[in-house]
Amino acid sequence: MRPVWVAMLTYRRPEGLAEAVSMLRAQLDQVPGARLLVVDNDEQPSAASAVAAAAAGDVRVVYVHEPAPGIAAARNRALAEAGPEALVVFIDDDEQPSAEWLSTLVACWRSTGAAAVVGPVVSRFVGEPDPWITAGGFFQRLRHPTGTVVTTAATNNLLLDMAQVGPLRFDLRFGLAGGSDTVFTRTLSAAGGRIVWCDEAPVHDLVPVDRSTVAWVRARAARIGNSDSRAHVHLAPSGRRLAARLRASVRGLVRVLGGSARLVVGRLAGSPTHHARGTRTLLRGAGMLRGAWGSYVDEYAR
């Protein structure tokens, strides 16, 4: 039986840590020998006492402190702790797994032999979001039939087979700006590692009030486009970087123009859906244009 590690990264979120550890301990019961690894990415080991209290003596819960700043460093620490033969299952510290989440992901890996298995993330709101945000679908994510092969994935619901991942690691140059998971999974896919979708293993993302505001989702839309474009250029061979920048710029410009047109239509027609979705497309395109030429925001800067 391959070792299974559930890896939860945390950074200064003590208020929900006890509940997260408790829910994941229950998940461990579904897979014999599974363990939970909590990676604290604060400069100081601020989560140590909270994790120890939540673990309540459960030896399956392991805490490590990774002071190197950036989410890529924390992800790499999780891979190093788990070892080269492990299955590493990433989940965020503000997410709630579905009832049979862990066992379902592992079963999908067994049946497909994939290098990675990714599940859906479904947002739940602590407070009622602005109707404009709902109309724009800012928190809607694509879903696929189980077994669909995808080429990119985030680490908020992702199983990695380290025996197939091999020496590949998250790029530290993307540690503060975000996008290291995009680069990682696209590189894995390009090398022949299959990433398979498992729709029966969702996790629920708890969206706090301060993230369900118009200002936050607008900024997030731009950052998503920025990260995608930057990853596209980064993955291009060195001799084709200029062409990659131009392609990313064209993609961004198309979105800016299309989003602007839809925004105007929405405003003239009084349609919140067209206005919001046009705004989202416009902002993603603007972010792509910036990322194509090396301008980005350090989302995880301290």
C-alpha to C-alpha distances, 238 to 37, 175, 185, 241, nearest whole angstrom: 37, 21, 19, 5
User: Within 13 Å and on the Cβ side, how many CA atoms surround 145?
Assistant: 1
Band (pLDDT 50/70/90 cuts) for residue 273 is: very high
Domain range summary for the chain, segments of one domain joined by +: 4-208, 214-292
Rounded to an integer, the average pLDDT of 26-35 is 96
pTM for this entry: 0.95
Look at residue 282 in the predicted model and tell me its pLDDT. Answer: 98
Residue percentage of the chain with pLDDT more than 70? 99
Look at residue 54 in the predicted model and tell me its pLDDT. Answer: 95
Q: How far apart are CA 226 and CA 219, in angstroms?
A: 11
Q: How far apart are CA 163 and CA 165, in angstroms?
A: 6
Alpha helices in 169-213 (DSSP H): 180-190
Residue 302 pLDDT greater than 90, yes or no: no
Give residue-wise pLDDT tens across range 138-186.
Answer: 999 999 999 999 999 999 999 999 999 999 999 999 988 889 999 999 9
Which string of DSSP letters, residue by residue, matches 234-284?
HHS-GGGHHHHHHHHHHHHHHHHHHHHHHHHHHHHHT-HHHHHHHHHHHHH
Q: How far apart are CA 61 and CA 30, in angstroms?
A: 15
Q: Assign a CATH topology to domain 4-208.
A: Spore Coat Polysaccharide Biosynthesis Protein SpsA; Chain A (3.90.550)
Look at residue 265 in the predicted model and tell me its pLDDT. Answer: 97
Residue 289 pLDDT greater than 90, yes or no: yes
Give residue-wise pLDDT tens across range 121-139.
Answer: 999 998 889 999 999 999 9
Q: How far apart are CA 52 and CA 36, in angstroms?
A: 12
Band (pLDDT 50/70/90 cuts) for residue 195 is: very high
